[in-house]
C-alpha cells in the first residue's frame, strides 16, 4: 500500500508559540491558504488536560507593545487581556554599584511598555482556534524524517509514512530543530555558562506594573509583573549555583533570593514551582533555503536579559505574513526565490542587531572589571537623568524599532 500524500500551500513544522502564531496570522491575512502543522507532541484539547504543548507551560513572557498590537489585530488578544499585566514602569540597577535608572511609560508618551502573559492560557487559546479551523490539517504527534526539494514544491516524509507536498516549508520547531538540520542549515551555539531559574512569586507589596531588572556578579535577575498580583522571576546564575538553589527548601530559597533582589516589593511570601534551563546564544548560518524559511527559536536563541526572544520571533512572523499576503495579492509563488530573498534581506539586519544588543548587554553586565563597573554605573545614571536617552531605549524594548539605540557604542 502506497503512502498517502497531501498537498497544501504551507507546511509549518513546530506548533509552539511562534509556529502556531504564524499559522493563525497567515489565515487572517490570506484566508484561502491551506496549512499543515507538524508537531512532535500530541494535539490535546483543554478538556483532556491543560498541558497542550511543551512550549505552553507556566513561564511568563514579556510581550512588547508591537507584539501585543499584532496579537490584537489578529484577534488573539481577546480573552487574554485579563490574564496579562502591563509593564508601566521599569527600574534597571547594578547590584553593589551606584547606577540605577527608572523608566516610566507615561512620561514617554505610552500607556505601557508591554504586557506580561503566562504562556499556558495563550497556548490553550490558539491551539483551540487552529484545531477547529477548516484550512488547517494537523499531523501530531509526528516528525519530519526526510525533506526532498524540487523546482516547484518541497516534499516532506513524516515518521508516520505520510507525505506532504507544499510550496513553502516553515521551520519553527525550536533551537534543537532536526528539520533545520535536514535542510543543511548549520546552527552555532555559544554557551553563556549561566542557568536561568524561573518561578512565580507572591510578594508583600503590589507590583503596580513595575518591572525590575537587576544585574549581579553572576548574572541578571528580573522581576516582572503578572496578573493576580503575582511576580515572575528570572534569576540567572552559574550552573553550579543554580543547581544549589534548586535544592533549597522554599523558605531557604526565598531567603537567598531576598538578599539579591532586595525589598522593592517588600517581603517575598511565597514561591511557586521552580524550573531551570541553561542559557546560550544560537544563530544559524542561513534563515532561508530553497522554498524554506527558518524562524523563531529555530533561527535564533537569545539570552533573556532584555526579554527580546519571542518578540524577535514575532517580527519574523509579521514579516513573513506580510510578504505572503503581498504575493497572493498578485497571484505570485509564495515559495519563490524572490519572496525568500526579500524575507532574508528584511529580517537579517534586525536579527543581527538584537543579537548584538542582548549579547553585548549580557557580557557587559556579567563582567567584574572595576573600569566597566564604573562605565555601567555612569551609563545607568545618564539614562536616569537624560530624558532624550530614554525614548530610544523604550522603543527598542517595545519593539517599535529594531536597532541598537547607541549605534556602535555600549548599550549602556
Q: How many residues does the chain have?
A: 412
Q: Are 179 and 173 in contact (CB under 8 A)?
A: yes
Q: Are 83 and 223 in contact (CB under 8 A)?
A: no
**What's the rounded Cα separation, in Å, for the pair 302 and 320?**
21
Helix (H) or strand (E) holding 38: strand 35-38
The reported pLDDT for the residue numbered 193 is 86
Which of 24-38, 185-199, 302-316 bottoms out in mean pLDDT, i.e. has the lowest?
A: 302-316
Q: Are 87 and 224 in contact (CB under 8 A)?
A: yes
Mean pLDDT, to the nearest integer, of 3-23? Answer: 96
The reported pLDDT for the residue numbered 32 is 97
The pLDDT of residue 380 is above 90: no
Buried b vs exposed e over 121-157: b needs ≥16 C-beta within 10 Å? bbbbbbbebbbeeebbebbbebbbeebeeeeebbbbb
Q: Are 225 and 210 in contact (CB under 8 A)?
A: yes
Superfamily covering domain 5-68+120-188+280-355: FAD/NAD(P)-binding domain (3.50.50.60)
- pLDDT tens for 303-335 read 887 778 899 999 999 999 999 999 999 999 999
Q: Which residue has the higher pLDDT, 185 or 408?
A: 185
Helix (H) or strand (E) holding 356: helix 337-366
Listed in sequence order, the residues at least 6 apart from 21 whose beta carbon sits closer than 8 Å to its beta carbon are 71, 76, 126, 314, 317
Mean pLDDT, to the nearest integer, of 3-20? Answer: 95
pTM over 0.85: yes
The reported pLDDT for the residue numbered 187 is 96
The pLDDT of residue 262 is above 80: yes
Helix (H) or strand (E) holding 141: none
**What's the rounded Cα separation, in Å, for the pair 269 and 202?**
6
> What is the Cα 386 distance to its own chain's centre?
30
The pLDDT of residue 371 is above 50: no
Please, what is the average pLDDT of the chain? 85
Instruction: State the SS3 of 263-294.
Output: CECECEEEECCCEEEEEEEEEECCCEECCEEE
Strands of 119-227, DSSP E? 136-139, 144-149, 154-158, 163-171, 187-203, 210-215, 220-225
Domain ranges of the chain: 5-68+120-188+280-355
The pLDDT of residue 381 is above 80: no
The reported pLDDT for the residue numbered 366 is 55
The pLDDT of residue 9 is above 80: yes
The pLDDT of residue 55 is above 60: no
The reported pLDDT for the residue numbered 113 is 87
Q: Helical H runs in 33-101?
A: 65-73
The reported pLDDT for the residue numbered 91 is 85
CA dihedral 234, 239, 241, 247 (to 10 degrees): 80
The pLDDT of residue 66 is above 50: yes
**What's the rounded Cα separation, in Å, for the pair 53 and 56?**
5
Q: Which residue has the higher pLDDT, 57 or 167?
A: 167
Amino acid at each position: 500500500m502506497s503512502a498517502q500524500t497531501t498537498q497544501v500551500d504551507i507546511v509549518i513544522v513546530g506548533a509552539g508559540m511562534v509556529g502556531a502564531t504564524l499559522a493563525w496570522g497567515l489565515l487572517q491575512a490570506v484566508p484561502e491558504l491551506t496549512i499543515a502543522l507538524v508537531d512532535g507532541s500530541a494535539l490535546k484539547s483543554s478538556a483532556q488536560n491543560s498541558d497542550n504543548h511543551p512550549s505552553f507551560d507556566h513561564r511568563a513572557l514579556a510581550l512588547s507593545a508591537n507584539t501585543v498590537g499584532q496579537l490584537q489585530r489578529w484577534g488573539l488578544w481577546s480573552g487574554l487581556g485579563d490574564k496579562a499585566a502591563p509593564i508601566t514602569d521599569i527600574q534597571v540597577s547594578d547590584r553593589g554599584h551606584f547606577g540605577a535608572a527608572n523608566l516610566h511609560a507615561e512620561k514617554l508618551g505610552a500607556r505601557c511598555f508591554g504586557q506580561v502573559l503566562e504562556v499556558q492560557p495563550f497556548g490553550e487559546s490558539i491551539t483551540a482556534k487552529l484545531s477547529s479551523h477548516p484550512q488547517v490539517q494537523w499531523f501530531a504527534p509526528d516528525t519530519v524524517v526526510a525533506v526532498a526539494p524540487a523546482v516547484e514544491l518541497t516534499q516532506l516524509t513524516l515518521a508516520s509514512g505520510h507525505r506532504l507536498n507544499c510550496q513553502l516549508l516553515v521551520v519553527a520547531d525550536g533551537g534543537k530543530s532536526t528539520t533545520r538540520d535536514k535542510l543543511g542549515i548549520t546552527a552555532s551555539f555559544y554557551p553563556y555558562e549561566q542557568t536561568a531559574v524561573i518561578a512565580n512569586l507572591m510578594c508583600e507589596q503590589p507590583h503596580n506594573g513595575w518591572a525590575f531588572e537587576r544585574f549581579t556578579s553572576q548574572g541578571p535577575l528580573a522581576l516582572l509583573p503578572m496578573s493576580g498580583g503575582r511576580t515572575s522571576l528570572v534569576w540567572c546564575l552559574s550552573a553550579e549555583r543554580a543547581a544549589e538553589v534548586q535544592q533549597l527548601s522554599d523558605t531557604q530559597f526565598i531567603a537567598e533570593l531576598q538578599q539579591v533582589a532586595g525589598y522593592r516589593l517588600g517581603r517575598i511570601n511565597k514561591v511557586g514551582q521552580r524550573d531551570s534551563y541553561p542559557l546560550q546564544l544560537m544563530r544559524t548560518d542561513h534563515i532561508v533555503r530553497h522554498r524554506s524559511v527558518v524562524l523563531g527559536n529555530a533561527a535564533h536563541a537569545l539570552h533573556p536579559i532584555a526579554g527580546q526572544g519571542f518578540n524577535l520571533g514575532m517580527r519574523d512572523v509579521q514579516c513573513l505574513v506580510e510578504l505572503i499576503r503581498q504575493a497572493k495579492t498578485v497571484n505570485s509563488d509564495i515559495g519563490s526565490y524572490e519572496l525568500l530573498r526579500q524575507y532574508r534581506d528584511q529580517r537579517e539586519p534586525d536579527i543581527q542587531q538584537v543579537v548584538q544588543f542582548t549579547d553585548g548587554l549580557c557580557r557587559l553586565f556579567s563582567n567584574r572589571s572595576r573600569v566597566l563597573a564604573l562605565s555601567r554605573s555612569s551609563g545607568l545614571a545618564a539614562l536616569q537623568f537624560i530624558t532624550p536617552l530614554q525614548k530610544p531605549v523604550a522603543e527598542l524594548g517595545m519593539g517599535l524599532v529594531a536597532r541598537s539605540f547607541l549605534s556602535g557604542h555600549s548599550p549602556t
